[in-house]
Structure 1
Amino acid sequence: MSARTTTPRRRTAVLATAALATVVTGALVACGNSAASAAAAPARSSGPSASAVAGPSLHMISNNGHRLAFHVKPGHLPAIVLDAGGGEGASQWQKIAPALAEQTGSEIITYDRAGIGKSDEVVGAWNAENAASDLEAGLTKLGVTHDVVLVSHSQAGEVATYFAKKHPKWVSGAVLVDASLPNFYTDTETARIVAANQAQVAQLDGTLSTKPVRQLLATADNYGPMHHAYHRISWPQSVPATVIASSKTPFGTPDDAQLWRDAQTQFAKAATNRTYLVAKGSSHEIPTDRPDVVVKAVEAMAKARG
């Protein structure tokens, strides 16, 4: 891409619409956690008090030649792992992580996926399976390989699905926050999104190449084949899940919005260990609009699985 002196922020937002359903607008600012890096797994306490006192620490963890930033606040199990939506990093949970630490006493882990925040960029198309591998590497290094409650917003639902499919015994439960789910990506819907992506990606030609722009382009690249494959996998029946749907979906058109809602309700009805609720008054940005709903759902899941 050719350089340009004007900021790409306005054009970046174009991609963060219905065309890239799982990429949402937001500041790509790394979480302002402590910069202390450690190779060993963090100590876990037996109660809430230690979690409330200790601050989060930064662990830079390598996987397949790149480094990822994991932010860890000590606590007991189950560990709560918060995975942000597309284009967002650990800072998306700034209203939620402290409340969960205080109310549950659990170990709280947030992280920046590749290309976001403090984590290294990776050349090529974004791939949910690769992102799940990054999460696996981070949790393995941190010693968190059981009693995990996944909390996944939007695009992170894809990461969670691949992760839980591979490691169902690691995950004791999940809270899927207006998440991108497999049954949404029918052949027709995926083709429509790909077509819309092409037009919107073209609008970025000539803009300044920045980390946010490159991440959006990486998400658009290979979008069709990746989501055709994603449509064919399923959430493991053994892993309980709470689905939190938004009042207003990431789509502006009625058909797309209804398909998104249907995907949420169909997923929730597919097993008896799944729960469905709506975050009233929220946009797709539930962690920002209704953090109280997320905290309550995660607290309930952690209590049930702890």
Structure 2
Amino acid sequence: MTTQKMSRFRRAAVALALPAAVVGMVSACGDPAPRKAASAALGTSSAPAAPADAALHMIATNGHRLAFHVTPGHSPTLVLDAGGGEDSSYWDALVPQLARETGSQIITYDRAGMGASDEVKGPWDGRAAAGDLRAGLRELGVNRDVVLVSHSQAGEVATYFAGANPGVLAGAVLVDANLPQFFTDPQIERLIALTTPQIEALKKQPSTKQNRQLIATAEDFGPTHRAYHRANWPDGVPVTVIVSEQTPFVGSPQDARRWHDAAAAFVAAGPGRTLVTARGSSHDIPEDQPALVLEKIRQMAATAR
């Protein structure tokens, strides 16, 4: 396995809070490296370049600083949150087109430990990440009419954010996101058993931001995701769920089926929820089918005006 392809394996594992680490390993070794694999492997993603029109705001909260990139525009504000192991530059190709087509203010940001934001010691904590996002938006004066767009692990941030701040959100688009329904006790135990050997091996390798984030995600994985399984999306916040056809679990039909079933169960659990399947797409729907993601964001933003 080459350095670049191993980088894809690690990124896929973080992106889902571990599940793709083993079941996607064989396919990852045979796939071309994605857009950011080389820079991640070289450790050059610590200060990503933001879109040209975006202003950088370093915002302090709870003893650490977070990098927010703001492209000016009108309400509703579109907030784009990348998956695990990714920083705000994941959205750079979409931001200019979104700005042209919607005229909205657009915010991308680096969660703690990624991009230009400070690292925070300890296990991954979706609630803390949601608190960081709220603190950043409050500092930027964004307190209502937000459309939150969340990919992969950022689905956990979105769920906790929506539960704590339903009045801030006008809607959300969850892009192949981690959803509470997926993390049943049997599934959690399966994921821990599958990924523990890879995490132990990773601890012996040179330390990078991506490695440290993966290890943090693995720490307390069971309790963290049992708690997340009990989280609820508020009925008053409309949401579009885009699920990939391939899912993150290439080579594991059992896990792929559970991923699709979880998306369907989430949509059936409340009003104002729509399920869309990205036909032929991998887990990286924003890269494979950007037009579909743009369309669903535009539609959600239109309802918020």
TM-score (structure 2 length as normaliser): 0.87
CA apart distance, 1:12: 4.8
Matched, 1:33 2:50: yes
User: Helix, strand or coil: the match of 1:203?
Assistant: helix
User: Helix, strand or coil: the match of 1:165?
Assistant: helix
Q: How many residues align?
A: 281
CA contact (8 A) 1:14 1:200 kept: no
Separation in 2 of the partners of 1:205 and 1:291? 35
CA RMSD, 1 decimal: 1.9
Separation in 1 of the partners of 2:118 and 2:286? 24
Query: Relative to structure 2, which stretch is displaced further, 15-24 or 70-79?
Result: 15-24
| Equivalent residue, structure 1, for 2:130 | 132
CA contact (8 A) 2:146 2:170 kept: yes
Output one character per residue of 1:132-161: Cα deviation in whole Å (capped at 9) or x when no partner: 011011000001010000000000000000
| Equivalent residue, structure 1, for 2:175 | 177
Q: Which runs of 5+ in 1 are unaligned?
A: 1-6, 35-53
Residue 79 of structure 2 is aligned with which of 78, 81, 91? Answer: 81
CA contact (8 A) 2:246 2:282 kept: yes
| Equivalent residue, structure 2, for 1:305 | 304
Query: Relative to structure 2, which stretch is displaced further, 96-105 or 205-214?
Result: 205-214
CA contact (8 A) 1:126 1:218 kept: yes
**1:1-306 to 2 correspondence within 5 Å?**
11-17=6-12, 21-22=16-17, 26-27=36-37, 28=40, 29=45, 30-33=47-50, 55-252=53-250, 253-306=252-305
- CA distance 1:8–1:67, shift in 2 (3 Å): farther
CA contact (8 A) 2:245 2:280 kept: yes
> What amino acid is the match of 1:288?
E
- CA distance 1:22–1:295, shift in 2 (3 Å): farther
User: Helix, strand or coil: the match of 2:202?
Assistant: coil
> What amino acid is the match of 1:113?
R
User: Helix, strand or coil: the match of 1:212?
Assistant: helix
User: Helix, strand or coil: the match of 1:262?
Assistant: helix
- CA distance 1:265–1:119, shift in 2 (3 Å): same
Separation in 2 of the partners of 1:9 and 1:129? 32
CA contact (8 A) 1:149 1:172 kept: yes
Sequence identity percentage: 52
TM-score (structure 1 length as normaliser): 0.87
- CA distance 1:180–1:264, shift in 2 (3 Å): same
CA apart distance, 1:21: 2.8
CA apart distance, 1:126: 1.1
Output one character per residue of 1:273-303: Cα deviation in whole Å (capped at 9) or x when no partner: 1111111221000111111111000000000
CA apart distance, 1:176: 0.3
CA apart distance, 1:215: 1.1
User: Helix, strand or coil: the match of 1:204?
Assistant: helix
- CA distance 1:17–1:58, shift in 2 (3 Å): closer
> What amino acid is the match of 1:21?
L
Query: Relative to structure 2, which stretch is displaced further, 20-29 or 137-146?
Result: 20-29
CA apart distance, 1:22: 3.6
- CA distance 1:19–1:171, shift in 2 (3 Å): closer
User: Helix, strand or coil: the match of 1:100?
Assistant: helix
Separation in 2 of the partners of 1:202 and 1:20? 18
Separation in 1 of the partners of 2:131 and 2:117? 14
> What amino acid is the match of 2:268?
K
Q: Which runs of 5+ in 2 are unaligned?
A: 21-33
